[in-house]
A and B are shown apart, each in its own frame.
Chain A
């Protein structure tokens, strides 16, 4: 969903960092995308290329670190891997599983000139 808005958000963060830290060119942007964040890494790459054209990040590589989803099962009280928000607990089959990891979308680091 709305990967274009998110890609613009990434570019904005990069440009803000350029202002603060004084660099003119970005080679690599490393982002973390959680499995439960509803963001498609492929769509994100496509949109990133589109929005960075003509910017200081033109041609930069977008490295996506995919963070696996995890949750706390409220039925068996264990932390379990979670592939989708509405999935049942893989251990006991119970509902609900409260997501505890894999919902993040953040810019982690930049390689700059």
Chain B
């Protein structure tokens, strides 16, 4: 994926989902029409084409997988099937390939399927180009942002206060979470989504504290995206008015750009790291609303300059709130827990307001209906 860190999308696994899970296939046909159909990755599949024009000759299909890989493969139509326009037909083509493997067979597929005769003029003369400009003006991250908006709406409707915890690997995120959960779990429902490249060690550590946790393995991916979190929300089904922690992949670069639908990003910087990290990785500290400086119990033993670290972070993000904590000794936890309680209370109040507002509106509409039907 990243040219910086060498990671890639694909191979995403969510606990409890099998590798051959059904997913969407997006086809762009040679005639320019495009459609998507769900597709299970265990062997053969059939799909129908309603009202599309085809040459009966073998042609290639370009597939775009949910994991972003694209490949093409040729297939032939049954000669017995009539190929009239507007006649829907079914065809099956074998389609087995290992998940996450390289798709090397896409090199020539789309080129084989070029049909110049399907342009606006319905014909093509040599040397005549049908090139035209199409205005797009679309944000590259628009798809992720749409998923994030859906997550945010769901979280708001349920009154869930969701936080996206971001940091370098080894900053003590999971230890911090375990202590936070121990302190709060008798008072509010809590759920956790864990993101790591591999293993479910972190989710197991969280489950040991007695709250539900779901592990997302990103495979080669360097960050969680909003679609992964949306699927995790469906599976985990966190309780109404609960606290949801999303522990992102340990990475100070990529998770900054991907909105997950959370209320806030919380950046964790431990005193065993350099105090210039906010300047080295400004995107992350700019995207966060709160910075937790962790492992402050080690301050006497390291050369970390706390004041400078905070100054650096505020240079990138003037409005950044800072709380110093130690997940080992519990120092600073009163402030951190108070911040969490305040956020959750606000989210709950908003939900109550929405519910109360809707009830009022229903009552008004019912009154109107009664008046009209008299």
Contacts and interface: CB of A to CB of B under 8 A. Distances in A.
Most chain B C-beta atoms within 10 Å of own C-beta, residue among A18, A51, A54: A54
B96 interface: no
* Chain B facing A: main interface SS: mixed
Given A8-B9, A54-B62, A109-B135, A22 B70 contact: no
Contacts of A74: 318
A95 B3 contact: no
A1 B114 contact: no
Contact of B134 (A1, A9, A112): A112
Interface string A69-107: 000001000000000111000000001101000001111
Interface stretch (B279-287, B296-304, B323-331): B279-287
Interface string B83-124: 000000000000000000001001101110011101100000
A47 B1 CA distance: 9
Contacts of B223: 2, 5
Given A54-B70, A113-B130, A12 B4 contact: no
B280 to A, nearest CB: 10
B166 to A, nearest CB: 13
Interface residues of A, number: 53
B32 A11 contact: no
Nearest to B319: A96
A53 B134 contact: no
A18 B113 CA distance: 15
A1 B257 contact: yes
Contacts of B135: 108-109
B374 interface: no
B310 interface: no
Nearest to B6: A4
B257 A95 contact: no
B40 to A, nearest CB: 22
A43 B3 contact: yes
Contacts of A5: 1-2, 9, 68, 223, 225, 254
Interface stretch (B138-146, B148-156, B175-183): B138-146
Contacts of B35: 19
A109 B132 CA distance: 10
Interface in B25-41: 26, 28, 30-35
B68 A24 contact: no
B253 interface: yes
B115 A24 contact: yes
23 contacts: A2-B222, A2-B254, A13-B136, A13-B140, A18-B28, A19-B28, A19-B33, A19-B34, A23-B134, A24-B118, A38-B257, A54-B107, A55-B62, A55-B110, A56-B62, A74-B318, A85-B282, A85-B316, A86-B278, A86-B279, A108-B135, A109-B135, A110-B133
Interface of A: 1-6, 8-13, 15-19, 21-25, 27, 31, 38, 40, 43, 46-47, 51-56, 58, 74, 84-86, 95-96, 98, 104-113
User: What 6 A-B pairs are tightest by C-beta distance, nearest first?
Assistant: A54-B106, A19-B34, A8-B68, A22-B32, A43-B3, A4-B1
Interface of B: 1-4, 8-9, 26, 28, 30-35, 62, 64, 68, 70-72, 103, 106-107, 109-111, 114-116, 118-119, 129-144, 222-223, 225, 253-254, 256-257, 278-279, 282-283, 286, 312, 314-318
